[in-house]
A and B are shown apart, each in its own frame.
Chain A
């Protein structure tokens, strides 16, 4: 399973764009990159998933360079409610094996 490395924590201010980068040097051909958000005492919530280039949905964008050894989650104009832990996971969705959670990034949005 591909191991991921993320910053332990990040601070930002309301209204700013936040970019969280994840390194996954040994990503495999069939692996997708998935990001989850978790609030205290809640289960993780799916944010976005991608395989290559750029994916955008109503809450975030995911940028994946051509070598796929890293990815960047971009949150536009964050608010206080975006304070949470963000996890980057790498794995093959078609595999029976479960994705492995890394240590995550604690994002704190300040007023």
Chain B
């Protein structure tokens, strides 16, 4: 099956700093990528949808200036958490969907962000 990777798998940063998380589709071209956030014992919450070459669409309540998403190529999307605060500590998961596998989404392994 198709593989989606995320880097880093876990990151710890100080409050006020910015953190970039990468999401890559390793063996297919992802026309659409999705970013989720998951707090402990809770379900995944969609943050934004990004299509290659265009601006991301953010869900209601998600600050686009705080969570910067870039989908510059068909295999890479990045999420930058700017001026991170402890409440941004969470598990961030990306998923990707390609033209050849449009009925199925492939999820990355997730990135654990801890803001001190």
Which residues of A approach B to under 8 Å, CB–CB?
Answer: 32, 34, 36, 41-46, 49, 87, 93-94, 96-104
Docked Cα-Cα span, A4 to B105, in Å, equals 18
Minimum CB distance partner of B104 in chain A: A46
Return chain A residues, CB-CB under 8 Å to B102: 93-94
Q: Determine if B43 and A96 form an interchain contact, defined as CB atoms under 8 angstroms apart.
A: no
> Which 7 pairs across A and B sit closest by C-beta, in order of nearness?
A43-B107, A93-B103, A101-B44, A101-B43, A44-B107, A43-B93, A43-B110
Number of interface residues of B (CB under 8 A): 25
Return chain B residues, CB-CB under 8 Å to A102: 43
Which residues of B approach A to under 8 Å, CB–CB?
Answer: 1, 4, 6, 32, 34, 36, 43-46, 49, 51, 91, 93, 95, 102-110, 112
Q: Determine if A42 and B110 form an interchain contact, defined as CB atoms under 8 angstroms apart.
A: yes
**Main SS class of interface, B:** strand
**Interface CB pairs A-B, < 8 A, 7:** A44-B93, A46-B107, A49-B103, A87-B43, A101-B43, A101-B46, A103-B43
How many contacting A-B pairs (Cβ < 8 A)?
51
Partner of B105, one of A42, A46, A103, A104: A46
Q: Determine if A46 and B49 form an interchain contact, defined as CB atoms under 8 angstroms apart.
A: no
Q: Nearest chain B CB to A2's CB is how many angstroms away?
A: 15
Docked Cα-Cα span, A96 to B105, in Å, equals 12
Q: Nearest chain B CB to A31's CB is how many angstroms away?
A: 12
Given A34-B104, A36-B107, A41-B110, 7 extra CB contacts under 8 A: A43-B93, A43-B95, A43-B108, A43-B109, A45-B107, A98-B34, A99-B105
Q: Determine if A100 and B46 form an interchain contact, defined as CB atoms under 8 angstroms apart.
A: yes
Docked Cα-Cα span, A3 to B90, in Å, equals 25
Docked Cα-Cα span, A2 to B116, in Å, equals 38
Return chain B residues, CB-CB under 8 Å to A46: 1, 104-107
Also in contact, A42 and B109, with CB within 8 A (given A32-B103, A49-B103, A101-B43):
yes
Q: Nearest chain B CB to A18's CB is how many angstroms away?
A: 20
